[in-house]
Structure 1
Amino acid sequence: MDHQTEWRLDAARNLAEKLKGKAGIRAILVGGSAARGYSDVYSDLELIAYWDRQPNKEEKRAIAGELGAVHRYPKIDHGHESALEIEGFPVDLWHKSVSEEEDILDRVFDEFSTDLGAHNVVDTVRTGIPLYGEELVRKWQERTEQYPDELARRFLDEYLPHFHLRQLHFAARRNNPAAFFNIMSNIQSSLFIVLLALNGSYFPTYKWMFKRLHELPVKPENLEWRLREMYRESPTEAAARMQEVLEETLQLVEAQYPDLDTEFARYGVDQPVPERFSDSPFE
């Protein structure tokens, strides 16, 4: 375990000791970068307290006071309530009810929802480290161990059509870097979701895209380097590299799901380089 992760986990254990005796708290989980082993010098600490009900504002305020915490952001910020600062260090303390968490798990595993917010919750549960109420958390984690095939298929059906390069080719040739990088970033994001589905991996948020890609076994060769290079090379070279990556990804999809309809995705990947029309073809 690296130093940045280790001391954050030590801090989480100390905070959990102060929280676990509170009436109504069923479990405490450390999530985020510390639980995933992704912490760097900019990482905060994410703690989730699971209650048998939704706590009221007075209870949350009392807990923050007992922890010696102050709010990092003003009330106009949507993260005001959960974003705390303890001893000058940023701590996100989330309060959730057990039923709320289990409803999200049901949406993903029973209804096969492709909502990315719900999948981030699942990934947090899967990678989280229980500091209290381990039996409850382990029960949830058992549900995450088997990634449903139907869920993978739904993600592939939804995100493979984003493998479309027509507008990327145009933006690469029109000296429009804002449009080019916007389109390219969106395609890379969809590629990430496709590869998560192929590997039976849940969504850690785009913030951790490259760290999670590094962990995935099924992906195009040297993928992380190739995706980063697209932001350094010329737009036309980047578009060509993107075409290669998407083609290789489609081959992986078709090998794993030979019955899946990839016709439109292949149409999008095989988009030709735009023709130039300097002079009128009309007489």
Structure 2
Amino acid sequence: MKNVNEPPRMNQHAKWRLELAQNLSEQLSNFSGVHAVAAGGSVARGYADAYSDLELLVYWNHQPDAENRLAVFNCLNAERRYPQMDIGYDSAYLINGFPVDVWHRTMEQEEAAADKVLDHFSTDLDASNVLDTMKFAIPLYGTDYLQPIKERIGAYPDQLTVKFLEAYLPHFHLRQLLYAARRDNPTAFYSILNSILDGLFLVLLALNKSYFPTYKWFYKRLAELPLVPEQIDFRLRQLYVESPLSAVKQLTAILEETVALAERLYPQVDTAFVRYGLEQPIPQAYKNAFTLGVKAPGDSR
């Protein structure tokens, strides 16, 4: 069984980006008030590909003002990637033509996110992503400064898993998906399908005591999780190439296997509503209407 706490394998795309990060960190460490610098994002997680940028996490004793942020920008001989109207204007750099995101952080912010998730068992995805980023972050400067928070984040509590299961297992409800599968509206069908799969991802993360890496890394993270339905990657991708009714059948099997896993590991979680949501029949009146091409009672189509 794989250990999800082990550092990811460093691929060729991540390696040279990490070397760039190390060079930049040497310049950043000279700033007064900077306690640590780390590489984050796809590079730290081992997910980098040819299209990945570099994320640098810069930890200050307090949030730097505009003057200090501009000094960092100039020190790195950077250019702006986006116009000033863009929300990413201040953090998105181009350094020698390569995209680098520089995130100015404080330990107070990291601790606040850890308190929210680990002490209060919050399912807030932004806070969970902060913890996932820090868990995989590769220290480049100030290792001792970052170690305590990394150790704290390494202890994922059972109570947090239970909160995620209680919040997202109810998303495994198939009634509207079944109706959408029988209507000529693929936009609605795939919108509902994607919403269910978002919930499935969060449930599987929780069962594996893994924080939220954002949906961008849906398949990358699933490949690392030991506690998942068999051939999960292939089966989920097939949902988008099969007919809607066939996809619902396959999805039902995946969801049932996931619920069974949750029930085995966390029997204290009430799954009665979840089971009800997975066993949604189409009322006979609607079946007749679909067959005959007429409206069923109360159908406003």
TM-score normalised by structure 1 residue count: 0.97
Alignment correspondent of 2:158: 149
Alignment correspondent of 2:267: 258
| Alignment pair present for 1:124 and 2:133 | yes
Give the partner amino acid of 1:252. L
Alignment correspondent of 1:93: 102
| Alignment pair present for 1:55 and 2:64 | yes
Deviation at 1:280, TM superposition (A): 7.7
Q: Which runs of 5+ in 1 are unaligned?
A: none
Cα offsets for 1:18-75 (capped at 9, x unmatched): 1011100111111000001000000000001010001001110111111011111111
Decide whether aligned partners of structure 1 residues 54 and 248 sit closer, same or farther in structure 2, where only a CA change above 3 A counts: same
Aligned identity (percent) is: 51
Decide whether aligned partners of structure 1 residues 281 and 7 sit closer, same or farther in structure 2, where only a CA change above 3 A counts: closer
Deviation at 1:281, TM superposition (A): 8.4
Cα offsets for 1:177-196 (capped at 9, x unmatched): 11011110110110000001
Decide whether aligned partners of structure 1 residues 86 and 231 sit closer, same or farther in structure 2, where only a CA change above 3 A counts: same
| Alignment pair present for 1:202 and 2:188 | no
**Segment of structure 1 superposing worse, 69-78 or 185-194:** 69-78
Alignment correspondent of 2:277: 268
Q: Hey, what's the Cα distance between the residues in 2 that align with 1:54 and 1:143?
A: 23
| Alignment pair present for 1:191 and 2:200 | yes
Deviation at 1:273, TM superposition (A): 4.0
TM-score normalised by structure 2 residue count: 0.91
Q: Hey, what's the Cα distance between the residues in 2 that align with 1:111 and 1:74?
A: 39
Cα offsets for 1:79-100 (capped at 9, x unmatched): 1111111111100000012212
Decide whether aligned partners of structure 1 residues 88 and 276 sit closer, same or farther in structure 2, where only a CA change above 3 A counts: farther
Q: Which runs of 5+ in 2 are unaligned?
A: 1-9
| Alignment pair present for 1:37 and 2:46 | yes
Decide whether aligned partners of structure 1 residues 131 and 271 sit closer, same or farther in structure 2, where only a CA change above 3 A counts: same
Structure 1 vs Structure 2 CA RMSD: 1.3
Q: Hey, what's the Cα distance between the residues in 2 that align with 1:162 and 1:230?
A: 17
Give the partner amino acid of 1:270. E
- Provide the secondary structure at the position in 2 that maps to 1:28: strand
- Provide the secondary structure at the position in 1 that maps to 2:288: coil
How many pairs were matched up?
282
- Provide the secondary structure at the position in 2 that maps to 1:215: coil
Q: Hey, what's the Cα distance between the residues in 1 that align with 2:264 and 2:244?
A: 30
Q: Hey, what's the Cα distance between the residues in 2 that align with 1:2 and 1:281?
A: 56
Decide whether aligned partners of structure 1 residues 248 and 118 sit closer, same or farther in structure 2, where only a CA change above 3 A counts: same
Alignment correspondent of 2:248: 239
Give the partner amino acid of 2:92. A
